[in-house]
Amino acid sequence: MDAGTSATFPYDTLPDGAIRLLEITRSRDDPASVDLILETIFLNAAPAFNCLSYVWGSNPDPPLYHVACTDRTTSTHGWLPVAPNLLGALPWLRVHSSGPIWIDAICINQADADEKSCQIPIMGELYSKAKQVLVWLGPAADASDLGLNVLTWLGCPDRRQDVEPSIAAYDDQLTGQLPAIASTLQRSRESTQWHDSELARRGLPNRRSAVWSALRSLYAREWFNRLWTFQELKLARNAVVLCGSHSLDWAIFLDLGLKLYDSSLVAVISAPASSIISTVDDLKLSAQNLYALARPIGAGGSFLIDMIQCSIGRQCLVKEDRVYALLGLLPHELQHKIPAVYNQESDHYLGVYVQFMEVMIEYLPWESMDTILLAATVSGRPPGMPSWCPDWSAMHHSNPREGTGDAGSSLGEAFHQLDSTRDHSLLVLGASIDAVKDVLGDLTWHRESEIMQPANALGSLSTILAWMNRCWAMTEQTMPGDRVRCLSDFWCTMAAVTSLEVDSIPNFADPAALPLLNALLESVRGGGLVNWVAMPAMRRQTITSAIGVIIGLWVNKVFFTTTRGRIGCGTVGAQAGHGIFVLSGQPAVYCLRGDPEQSSIFTSRAFVPGLMNGEASGLVQPEDFKMLRIG
Q: Number of C-alpha atoms within 13 angstroms, CB side, residue 203? A: 10
Q: Check residue 272 and give its pLDDT.
A: 43
Boundary-marking domain end, from 381, 399, 417:
399
**pLDDT for residue 454:** 47
DSSP-derived pairing of the beta strands 579-583 and 626-630: unpaired
pLDDT of residue 402: 42
Q: What is the mean pLDDT of residues 405-412?
A: 62
Asked if residue 223 and residue 115 are part of one domain, the reply reads: no
pLDDT of residue 163: 97
Q: Is residue 136 part of a domain?
A: no
- Judged by average pLDDT, the poorest of 273-277, 355-359, 599-603, 620-624 is 273-277
Per-position DSSP letters for 220-255, written without gaps between them: TSGGGGBHHHHHHHHH-SSEEEEETTEEEEHHHHHH
In a domain, 517, yes or no: yes
Question: For position 498, what pLDDT does the model report?
Answer: 52
Task: Give dist(CA 227, CA 324) in Å, integer.
Answer: 10
Range in 40-49, 175-184, 489-498, 564-573 the model is least confident about: 489-498
Q: Is there a single domain that holds both residue 546 and residue 561?
A: no
Residue 141, SS3? Answer: coil
CA 559, CA 569: separation in Å to the nearest integer?
Answer: 5
Instruction: Please tell me the distance from the alpha carbon of residue 464 to that of residue 467, in angstroms, as a whole number.
Output: 5
Residues 319 and 395: beta-carbon distance below 8 Å:
no
Looking at the structure, tell me whether residues 342 and 424 fall in a common domain.
no
Poorest-confidence range of 15-29, 48-62, 498-512?
498-512
Which residues on adjacent β-strands are paired with residue 568?
560
At 555, the amino acid letter reads V
Q: Which ranges in 120-244 belong to alpha helices (H)? A: 123-129, 144-155, 160-170, 174-186, 196-201, 210-218, 227-235
Average pLDDT over residues 292-296: 82
Q: Is residue 10 part of a domain?
A: no
Query: Residue 279 pLDDT more than 90?
Result: no
Residues 95 and 24 in one domain: yes
Are residue 492 and residue 542 in the same domain, yes or no? Answer: yes
What pLDDT is recorded for position 408?
Answer: 61
Q: How far apart are CA 276 and CA 451, in angstroms?
A: 9
Q: 151: closest CA among 19, 70, 256, 304?
A: 256
- Strand-pair category, 425-440 with 579-583: antiparallel
Nearest to 67, CA basis, from 105, 98, 102: 105
551-597 tens-digit pLDDT? 666 667 889 999 999 999 888 888 999 999 988 888 788 899 987 66
Q: What is the pLDDT of residue 367?
A: 74
Domain membership flag for residue 285: no
Cα(540)–Cα(281) distance, rounded to whole angstroms? 17
C-alpha closest to that of 608 among 443, 476, 496, 475: 496
137 within some domain: no
Is the pLDDT at 496 greater than 90? The verdict is no
Inform me whether the pLDDT recorded for 162 exceeds 70: yes
Are residues 418 and 454 located together in one domain of the fold? no
Q: Give the C-alpha separation, 133 to 232, whole Å.
A: 8
Identify the pLDDT of residue 274. Answer: 39
| Same domain, residue pair 395 and 456 | no
Alpha-carbon distances, residue 339 vs 115, 420, 467 (angstroms): 12, 20, 48
| Share of residues in the chain with pLDDT > 70 (%) | 76
Task: Say whether 123 sits in a helix, a strand or coil.
Answer: helix
| Res 493: pLDDT | 80
- Who wins on pLDDT, 351 or 407? 351
DSSP string, 555-594: TTEEEEEETTS-EEEEETT--TT-EEEEETT-SSEEEEEE
SS3 301: coil
The pLDDT, as a whole number, for residue 434 is 93
pTM, two decimals, is: 0.82
| pLDDT at res. 499 | 46
Q: In terms of domains, do 411 and 491 share one? A: no
Q: Which range is least confidently modeled, 218-222, 349-353, 440-444? A: 440-444
Spatial contact of 625 and 407, defined as CB atoms under 8 Å apart: no
Average confidence (pLDDT) over 135-145: 96
With residue 521 as reference, give the H or E element that holds it.
Answer: helix 513-534
pLDDT grade for 125, boundaries at 50, 70 and 90:
very high
| Rounded alpha-carbon distances, angstroms, from residue 606 to 405, 435, 454, 516, 595 | 11, 11, 36, 28, 19
pLDDT of residue 442: 66
Single out the residue in 79, 99, 130 at which a domain terminates: 130
| Residue 428 shares a structural domain with residue 560 | yes
The mean-pLDDT minimum among 21-25, 361-365, 470-474, 499-503 falls in 499-503
| Closest C-alpha among 115, 119, 112, 100 to residue 49 | 100
Tell me how crowded residue 468 is: count the other CB atoms within 10 A of its CB.
Answer: 20
Greater confidence (199 vs 280) lies with 199
Q: Which contiguous run of DSSP H or E holds residue 37? A: strand 34-42
Strand residue runs (E) in 393-504: 416-419, 425-440
Decide if 107 is inside a domain.
Answer: yes
Does one domain contain both 565 and 437? yes
User: How many domains does the chain contain in total?
Assistant: 5
Tell me if 338 is assigned to some domain: yes
Given a cut of 70, whether residue 356 has pLDDT beyond it is yes
Domain that holds residue 415: 402-442+556-631
- Pair 431, 580 in one domain: yes
pLDDT higher than 80, residue 126: yes
Q: Is residue 7 part of a domain?
A: no
519 and 468 assigned to the same domain: yes
Q: Which of 535, 554, 573 is the last residue of a domain?
A: 554
When computed from its CA atoms, the radius of gyration of the chain, rounded to whole angstroms, is: 28
Weakest-pLDDT range from 16-25, 183-192, 583-592: 183-192
Q: Which amino acid is at 354?
A: V
| Among 51, 161, 47, CA closest to 97 | 51
Contacts of 125 by beta carbon, 8 Å cutoff, 6+ apart: 43, 328
Q: What is the pLDDT of residue 542?
A: 57
pLDDT at residue 534 in the model = 62
Contact 414, 624 (CB under 8 A): no
Per-residue pLDDT reduced to its tens digit, 202-255 = 999 998 899 999 999 999 999 999 999 999 999 999 999 999 999 999 999 999
Average pLDDT over residues 287-293: 80
Average pLDDT of the chain, as a whole number: 81
Calculate the CA dihedral of residues 387, 389, 394, 397 and round it to 10 degrees. Answer: 100
